[in-house]
Amino acid sequence: MTCRKAKKAIPLLAGGDLAPRKERRFMAHIDICPSCRKELEGYRSALGRAKASAREEKPGDWSESEWKALMAHITAGRGGERTMVLGLRPRRALASGMAAVIILAVTVLFVKDTMFGPHKTSPVPGPDVVSVTMVSQETGLQVVWFFNKNFEWKGDKN
Amino acid sequence: MVLSGRNDAFEPLVTPYRQPLLALAYRLTRDFEDAKEIAQEALLRAFKHLGRYDTSRSFRNWLFQIAANAARDRARTKGREAAALAHAGRELPQSPDPSSGRRSREFRSDLDKCLSVLGPREREVFILRDIEELDIRETARVLACSSVSVRVNLSSARRKIREAIRDKYPHLEEGQ
């Protein structure tokens, strides 16, 4: 353990925010290093002072009439999301309902299609021969290619 | 009881947290009027969203989370207003700030002096962890960030406060 490493951890160590294992490691160094010990004491003292200042401070309070008026104003409203349906929060209830409807619709479509839908017909056979014609705009020359259904070249004709 | 529709049960539920909530809002803003508005907004939001409250969690910390969010929203709004005023101020003659006397350096509290050296996030983390004494995990939850982020900001906040007390406000160190 080096002082540099220890000094990095001292702010957290001062407030007891290191894991116990780490704390033991750092404390072992601090026990033998007067400079780090002094630094830790400085942090503890600063933290203690800040906490004491917070305790001394009196931020004030609502007057009783203000508080009563505030409570009346708050509870007079409808309280938006407080109603629960079947123990579910409204947004979750809505999402669950939507999901159930979608699942039901998909199931109905699937069952209808497989059990009562029309039987599939065999696909219409394509043409046996395909021709491709190219015409040159400059010379008027025509080139025609003929392919069979496997797109194998059969021959050309001018 | 409030969840089952009894609105009158809300007041006894929040009354124990009335002062801590206002104190937190004050510590976050350092302005009592702002603090009152933030605490009021937090209570309103709490009532409205009570159905979202996770009962496995501390009610106080849940209220603190709402207050911290309300304080952040207010700071953002105030920032925009200040920018608009600053822009308008270029055309208008400057008037003296009425609060400048009240908030002058001499009259600021010791805690004010300590917090003045911190950035917004460091201030939130320091107040929640060191002043309100929430643990790291709850602080992270209240601020909707990671525990690592809390540790980093906390370490930096404590370092700054330590340095400020040592260098700028040595009388605070002596007062211990």
The confidence score (pLDDT) of residue A136 equals 85
The pLDDT, as a whole number, for residue B45 is: 92
pLDDT at A81 over 60: no
The answer to whether B134 and A17 are in contact (CB under 8 A) is no
In the predicted model, what is the mean pLDDT of residues A69-92?
A: 63
Q: Provide the pLDDT for residue A154.
A: 61
Greater confidence, A123 or A11? A11
Mean pLDDT, rounded, for B15-25: 90
pTM over 0.80: no
CATH architecture assignment, domain B107-176:
Orthogonal Bundle (1.10)
Give the mean model confidence (pLDDT) for residues A97-107: 89
pLDDT at B144 over 70: yes
Q: What is the pLDDT of residue B64?
A: 93
Q: Where exactly are the structural domains of chain B?
A: 1-95, 107-176
| SS3 label, residue B96 | coil
Beta bridge partners of A157: A144
How far does B20 lie from chain A, in Å, by closest CA?
9
CA separation for the pair B37, A70 (Å, rounded): 11
Tell me the pLDDT band of B121, cut-offs 50, 70 and 90: very high
Mutate to test the interface with A, among B32, B156, B158, B163 (most CBs of A within 10 A): B158
The domain made up of B1-95 is a member of CATH 1.10.1740.10: yes
Residue at token pair 């009610």: B59
Is the CB of B152 inside 8 Å of chain A's CB atoms?
A: no
Tell me phi and psi for residue B53, to 5 degrees. Answer: -70, 125
pLDDT of residue B137: 92
Q: What is the pLDDT of residue A120?
A: 55
pLDDT tens digits, B77-102: 887 777 777 777 665 544 444 444 44
**Measured between beta carbons, which residues in chain A are less than 8 angstroms from residue B111?**
50, 53-54, 57
DSSP state letters, chain A? --HHHHHHHHHHHHTT-S-HHHHHHHHHHHHH-HHHHHHHHHHHHHHHHHHHHHHH-------HHHHHHHHHHHHHS--TT---BTTB-HHHHHHHHHHHHHHHHHHHHHHIIIIISPPPPPPPPPPSEEEEEEE-TTT--EEEEEEETT--EEEEE-
Q: What is the pLDDT of residue B146?
A: 94
SS3 content of chain B, % helix, strand, coil (to 5): 75, 0, 25
- The two three-digit tokens of residue B123, written as one number: 């201030």
The residue among A47, A56, A4 whose CA lies nearest residue A26 is A4
Contact state of A50 with B19 under an 8 Å Cβ cutoff: no
Which helix (H) or strand (E) segment holds residue B24: the answer is helix B18-29
Predicted ipTM of the assembly: 0.74
Contacts of A79 in chain B (CB under 8 A): 2, 7, 47-48, 50
In A, which residues are within 8 Å of B167 by CB distance? Answer: none
User: How do strand A129-135 and strand A153-157 relate by DSSP bridges?
Assistant: unpaired
Best residue of A74, A81, A85 to probe chain B, by most B CBs closer than 10 Å: A74
Residues of A with CB under 8 A from a CB of B: 8, 11-12, 14-15, 17, 42-43, 45-54, 56-57, 59-62, 67, 70-71, 74-75, 77, 79-84, 89-90
Residue A79 confidence (pLDDT) above 60: no
Q: Does B55 touch chain A (CB under 8 A)?
A: no
pLDDT tens sequence across B30-72: 888 889 999 999 999 999 888 888 888 889 999 999 999 999 9
pLDDT surpassing 90 at residue A72: no
Which is higher by pLDDT, B129 or B108? B129
Query: For A54, which residue in chain B has the nearest alpha carbon?
Result: B111
Alpha carbon B95 to its chain centroid, in Å, reads 29
Q: Residue B166's closest CA among A53, A48, A46?
A: A46
Query: How high is the pLDDT of residue B41?
Result: 92
Two tokens, residue B18: 């009335």
Ramachandran quadrant class, A71 (left: phi over 0; alpha: psi -120 to 50; beta: rest): alpha
Phi, psi of B104 (to 5 degrees): -65, 160
Mean pLDDT of chain A: 79
Mean predicted confidence (pLDDT) in A93-116? 83
- Between CA A88 and CA B51 the distance in angstroms is 10
Whether the predicted pLDDT of A84 surpasses 50: no
Report the residue of chain B nearest A51, measured CA to CA.
B131
Contact between B114 and A51 under an 8 Å Cβ cutoff? The reply is no
> Do A12 and B151 count as a contact with CB atoms less than 8 A apart?
yes
Contacts of B158 in chain A (CB under 8 A): 11-12, 14-15, 43, 46-47
| Mean of per-residue pLDDT scores for chain B | 81
A-to-B residue pairs, Cβ atoms closer than 8 angstroms: 121
Out of A11, A56, A60, name the one closest to residue B159 (CB): A11
